[in-house]
């Protein structure tokens, strides 16, 4: 995939990453690279498990990159490579121009302490410490004095909606609140990168929606580089600036979520997106006509290009004959006919040729 010019710089570049589990991964790697063995064949012939296969992802600065896949697709393995909780069998992870895999122990620890933070599926809070002490973990590890790190932690706890809970213990909080502590812990570290490993998968749906909104709200303000793992496509489409779909340890497709929805490149993804409420995910800018020439059309109103189609349908009260003027701020950028909108809601059939060349 070629980089578009208007996109921000790449913060983390994952290059040709392989991870093979088993007694002799290097030999198995040779078999995969030279003989082109797939996951089932490798397991049958050598007893090795192909965890990740030739992964290439650019994580852009200031955006949310979502990696989505079903359980066993290798997504949690992948995110653990970024801060090297797991070492790969082959490949590179370029961060700020240097390969994280070549870091010494001390350098790696420094990166983990100051530049990368992580939020976990099962919260992973320390049960014997208060909420504020948990939130301040990264600062404490760096050797900062308690009198400095507690106020800093309290500040971020306030920010995630846990004002006054600093003295409580994690077990006194509900699951959703515990994960807020997890997020506060990641934010308190003031790291530019946040790794979120199925951070919301253990929460019930309503709380999950709340937490997604919280993340988007924080992100608008803080502009962190976020790598988010999920098995939930709705969540992925809601949060992602860039969506990577993983299957059996290999990338099936990666692009902007709107594009994946409109042009799924693989029957696997078609299956996935068929259950999705397209009107809620697709945005006006994706389906509008990019001509600002309104001509003799009767304009029923103005809409923002980032609005989703659901809200437009609501505005038109279901009337398919209306046409709207699309604006980006004050600038006119196109027009949207309701007919076009309805057509875009028809699910896309998979192309016959699965590996579409881009």
Partner 1 sequence: MATYEPVFSALGLKEWCESGAESASGPTSLADLIARNTGTDVPAPSIWELPFPSMDQLHEACPAFPQSRALTKGIENGFLDIKDGLSLVLDPLTQPLSWFLEGSLWVFEAIPWWIMIPVLLVIVMLVSRSRPLVVFVAVCLLGMAFIDYYSFAAQTLAVIFVCALLCVVLGVPIGIAMSRSDRLQRAIIPVLDMLQTLPAFVYLIPLIFLFSVTEPKLYGIAIILYAIVPVVRLTDLGIRLVDKDVIEAADAFGMTDRQKLVKVQIPLALPNIMAGVNQTIMMSLSMVVIASLVSAPGLGVLVLRGIRNLELGVGLVSGLGIVILAVILDRTTKLALARINAGQNQ
Binds partner 1 (CB under 8 A): choice among 48, 112, 238, 322? 112
Does 120 help bind partner 1 (rule: CB under 8 A)? yes
- 325 vs 199: CA distance, rounded Å: 39
Binds partner 1 (CB under 8 A): choice among 27, 122, 155, 321? 122
Q: Which residue, 23 or 36, is less far from partner 1 as judged by CB? A: 23
Beta carbon of residue 79, minimum distance to partner 1 (angstroms, whole number): 10
Q: Please, what is the Cα angle at 36 between 34 and 40, to 5 degrees?
A: 135
Q: Which residue, 149 or 272, is less far from partner 1 as judged by CB? A: 149
Binds partner 1 (CB under 8 A): choice among 53, 77, 83, 212? 83
Q: Which residues pair with 56 in a beta bridge?
A: none
Binds partner 1 (CB under 8 A): choice among 93, 118, 183, 269? 118
Beta carbon of residue 5, minimum distance to partner 1 (angstroms, whole number): 34
Binds partner 1 (CB under 8 A): choice among 25, 51, 91, 170? 170
Q: Which long-range contacts (CB under 8 A, 24 or more apart) does 271-277 make?
A: 272/233, 272/245, 273/233, 273/347, 273/348, 274/347, 275/233, 276/233, 276/234, 276/237, 277/234, 277/310
Binds partner 1 (CB under 8 A): choice among 15, 60, 113, 231? 113
Mark 107-141 as b/e (b = at least 16 C-beta within 10 Å). ebeebbbebbbbbbbebebeeeebbbbbbbbbbbe
Tell me, by CB under 8 A, how many residues bind partner 1: 31
Does 146 help bind partner 1 (rule: CB under 8 A)? no
Binds partner 1 (CB under 8 A): choice among 27, 109, 155, 163? 109
Does 125 help bind partner 1 (rule: CB under 8 A)? yes
Give the helix ranges, DSSP H, for the chain.
25-35, 39-46, 75-82, 105-114, 131-135, 137-141, 146-159, 175-188, 205-222, 233-239, 257-262, 267-273, 278-281, 284-287, 309-316, 338-344
Confirm if 162 and 174 have CB atoms less than 8 A apart.
no
Q: Which residue, 94 or 124, is less far from partner 1 as judged by CB? A: 124
SS (H, E, C) 280-328: HHCEHHHHCECCCCCCCCCEEEEEECCCEHHHHHHHHCCCCCCEEEEEE
Does 127 help bind partner 1 (rule: CB under 8 A)? yes
Binds partner 1 (CB under 8 A): choice among 66, 100, 193, 195? 195
Does 117 help bind partner 1 (rule: CB under 8 A)? yes
Q: At what angle do helices 25-35 and 39-46 cross, to 10 degrees?
A: 130
Beta carbon of residue 145, minimum distance to partner 1 (angstroms, whole number): 16
Binds partner 1 (CB under 8 A): choice among 31, 49, 61, 141? 141
Does 157 help bind partner 1 (rule: CB under 8 A)? no
Does 171 help bind partner 1 (rule: CB under 8 A)? yes
Q: Which residues bind partner 1 (CB under 8 A)?
A: 83, 85, 108-114, 116-118, 120-128, 137-138, 141-142, 169-171, 185, 189, 195
């Amino acid at each position: 995939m070629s980089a578009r010019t208007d996109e921000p710089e790449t913060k983390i570049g994952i290059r040709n990453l392989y991870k093979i589990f088993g007694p002799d991964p290097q030999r198995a790697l040779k078999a995969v690279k030279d003989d082109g063995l797939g996951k089932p064949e490798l397991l049958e012939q050598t007893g090795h498990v192909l965890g990740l296969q030739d992964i290439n992802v650019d994580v852009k600065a200031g955006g949310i990159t979502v990696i989505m896949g079903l359980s066993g697709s290798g997504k949690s393995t992948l995110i653990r490579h970024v801060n090297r909780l797991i070492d790969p069998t082959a490949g590179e992870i370029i961060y700020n121009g240097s390969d994280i895999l070549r870091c010494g122990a001390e350098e790696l620890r420094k990166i983990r302490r100051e530049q990368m933070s992580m939020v976990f599926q099962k919260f992973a809070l320390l049960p014997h410490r208060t909420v504020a002490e948990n939130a301040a973990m990264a600062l404490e590890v760096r050797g900062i004095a308690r009198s400095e790190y507690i106020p800093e932690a309290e500040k971020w706890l306030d920010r995630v909606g846990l004002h006054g809970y600093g003295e409580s213990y994690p077990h006194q909080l509900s699951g959703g609140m515990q994960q807020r502590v997890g997020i506060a812990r990641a934010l308190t570290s003031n790291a530019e990168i946040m790794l979120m490993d199925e951070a919301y998968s253990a929460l019930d749906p309503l709380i999950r929606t709340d937490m997604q909104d919280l993340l988007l709200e924080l992100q608008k303000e803080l502009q962190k580089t976020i790598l988010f793992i999920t098995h939930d496509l709705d969540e992925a489409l809601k949060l992602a600036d860039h969506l990577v779909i993983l299957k059996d340890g290999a990338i099936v497709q990666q692009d902007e979520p709107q594009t994946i929805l409109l042009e799924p490149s693989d029957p696997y993804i078609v299956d996935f997106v068929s259950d999705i409420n397209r009107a809620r995910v697709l945005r006006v800018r994706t389906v509008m006509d990019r001509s600002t020439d309104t001509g003799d059309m009767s304009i029923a109103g103005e809409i923002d290009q980032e609005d989703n189609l659901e809200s437009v349908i609501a505005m038109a009260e279901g009337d398919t004959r209306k046409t709207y003027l699309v604006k980006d701020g004050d600038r006119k950028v196109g027009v949207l006919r309701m007919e076009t909108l309805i057509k875009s809601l028809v699910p896309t059939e998979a192309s016959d040729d699965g590996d579409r060349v881009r």
